[in-house]
Amino acid sequence: MTKSHKRFTFMGYKYYSIYFIIKNFMNRYAKYFLLGLALIFISAGSLSAKPKAKYVFYFIGDGMGLNEVLGASIYASQMEGIEDGYKAFSFTQFPVVTIATNRSSFSYITDSSAAGTALASGEKTGNGMIGVKSDGTTPVNSIAYYAKQAGYKVGITSNVGVNHATPGSFYGHDKSRNSYYNIGLQLPESHFDFFAGSNFLTDQKDPGKPLLPAVARKAGYTVAYGVDQYQKLKDKTSKMILFQSDSTKTDVPYRIDRKPGDLSLSQITECAVDFLSKDNNKGFFLMVEGGKIDGGGHSNDVLAAFSEVIDLSDAVEVAMDFYRKHPQETLIVVTADHETGGLAMGAAGMYELNYKVLLNRKASKDVISLKIGALRQEKNNKVSWPEIQALLQEYLGFWKEVPLNMFQEIRLMQAYQESFAPVRMGPGSQRPIVASTGEKIAAVAVSILDEMAYVSWSSGAHTGTYVPVYAIGAGSENFKGSLDNTDLPKIISQIAEYPME
């Protein structure tokens, strides 16, 4: 002590003091210091490690632009008697909300196969092409393929044809989305675990070629028609395709036209979760397409579009039930491929939306048209104006809950005259009797109700507006900033750790 005191006196008192303090501190507290340092490193490491998404839900609303979601939310609010509200849907409450651009390789306006390919594989392609690069031939693999490669179970589902553009983009490769038979042949080749849809679509007219359900069965898939059949067969198979119960139909009805027994998107999602969770510790990737919002947009049927957004929200609610049980390991992403119809929020220079009047509509435009067609058949084309009035009252509330002005009534009567006045084209000629979705009276009646509600459309086709992106759960914070549709599968693959290469 004396010795060291002498030495540091020589070097200066201040220096000696600091040295002494540090030396003593290190001797006494070094172990605590090192332990603290280690704890800092460990906690920093655990914060930076991203939570892995063991279960991924990827919902795609076909034709679900921002205004389809917002309009459906206002309409749903009106249904609950709240005249100035926005009903919150399952996914509109997600903590992460952003937007995505969606142009295809050669156009600002995409179709569902180019957008489906972008959302599935992160690759831009040309309109009409499915699962290939824009050269039309080079195949690209989807995120579902990579999920399967990484050992996850995979489900690809929709409420339209299982080999339609969006679901087809996750397993098929063809320069034309209309090659339904060829795309359908590729479905079993994917070896994915679960598929669902309305049915197989086909462009194959050769009776010598095997039917697609038979091809799938031969490859080891069980095909269940309806949820009841699914329940009976699910434990006897490792690969399942679920279709609607009527095997002769290629389309499921809109939610607004649904009858008991018709397949809903929620049922599809429930069956998918049930099947993919079976004997599965690894995890799954499930794509669910709300495929019929697009149909509402194409036919400018606002109620069909809104009711399908609500149907998608119900299906997302099924995923939310799963998420609540596995919050650390589940990622749910909800987006759209494009907008359809150019639905505007407002019309005719009015600072008003009168969606309340839409509550009087009881069926889609297609079904109202088919009802007129059925009347046409029943009466052998001799349908009276009062009979049409009764039908329009039943399905749109006209003349009862919804009073018409003179001009609106004249437009309807003109459509009636054009549709039912006797045809004078020579002896024996008469109107064909076919029930179709093209009855002019239905189109005019629906457009009159739209005018009253201040609903307006810019197109009968797709538009290039932003689509919404909603996310919740493991890694959802990675969906940030304005995105492009090609970004989505790349972000999901990073979160879920199935590299796309």
- Sequence-distant (6+) residues with CB within 8 A of 213 are 200, 223, 241, 247
Q: From its phi and psi, is residue 405 left (phi > 0), alpha (psi between -120 and 50) or beta?
A: beta
What is the smallest separation between the CB atom of 272 and Zn ion, expressed in angstroms?
Answer: 23
Which residue of the chain is nearest Zn ion when measured via CB? 294
Q: Choose between 123 and 294: whose C-beta lies nearer to Zn ion.
A: 294
Residue 422 is classified by DSSP as P
- Helix 385-396 vs helix 406-420: angle between axes, to the nearest 10 degrees? 120
For Zn ion, give the closer residue by CB, 463 or 493: 463
Residue that the structure tokens 């590299």 belong to: 499
Q: Residue 435 CB, nearest distance to Zn ion (Å)?
A: 24
Q: Which residues contact 389 (CB under 8 A, 6 or more apart)?
A: 398, 399
Residue placing its CB nearer to Zn ion in the complex, 169 or 330: 169
Residues that bind Zn ion (CB under 5 A): 294
Q: How many C-beta atoms surround the C-beta of residue 487 within 10 A? A: 19
Beta carbon of residue 56, minimum distance to Zn ion (angstroms, whole number): 25
Q: Which is nearer to Zn ion, 36 or 460 (CB)?
A: 460
Residue closer to Zn ion, measured from CB, 63 or 188: 63
DSSP annotation string for 166-187: HHHTTT--BS-TT-HHHHHHHH
Q: Which of 209, 475, 174 is nearest to 328 (CA)?
A: 475
Residue closer to Zn ion by CB (options 173, 292) is 292
Closest listed residue to residue 258, CA positions, set 187, 195, 198 = 198
- Residue 264 burial (CB count, 10 A): 18
Q: How far is the CB of 103 from Zn ion (least distance, A)?
A: 15
In angstroms, give the least distance from the CB of 37 to Zn ion: 59
Q: Nearer to Zn ion by C-beta: 188 or 341?
A: 341
Quickly count: other Cβ atoms within 10 Å of residue 161's Cβ: 23
Q: How far is the CB of 111 from Zn ion (least distance, A)?
A: 7
Task: Provide the 3-class DSSP secondary structure of residue 195.
Answer: strand
We find the least distance from the C-beta atom of residue 113 to Zn ion, in angstroms, to be 10
Helix, coil or strand: residue 332: strand
Tokens (6 digits) for 390: 């009764």
Shortest gap between Cβ of 485 and Zn ion (angstroms)?
A: 15
Residue 471's DSSP bridge partners are 96, 333
**CB closer to Zn ion, 220 vs 460:** 460
Smaller CB distance to Zn ion: residue 112 or 267? Answer: 112
| Tokens 């690759």, residue located | 123
* Tokens representing residue 253 in the block: 């009805």
| Residue 294 or 308 having the CB closest to Zn ion | 294
- The least CB distance from residue 429 to Zn ion, in Å, is 37
Neighbours of 83 (CB within 10 A): 11
Q: How far is the CB of 308 from Zn ion (least distance, A)?
A: 12
Q: DSSP code of 137?
A: S
Residue type (1 letter), 95: P
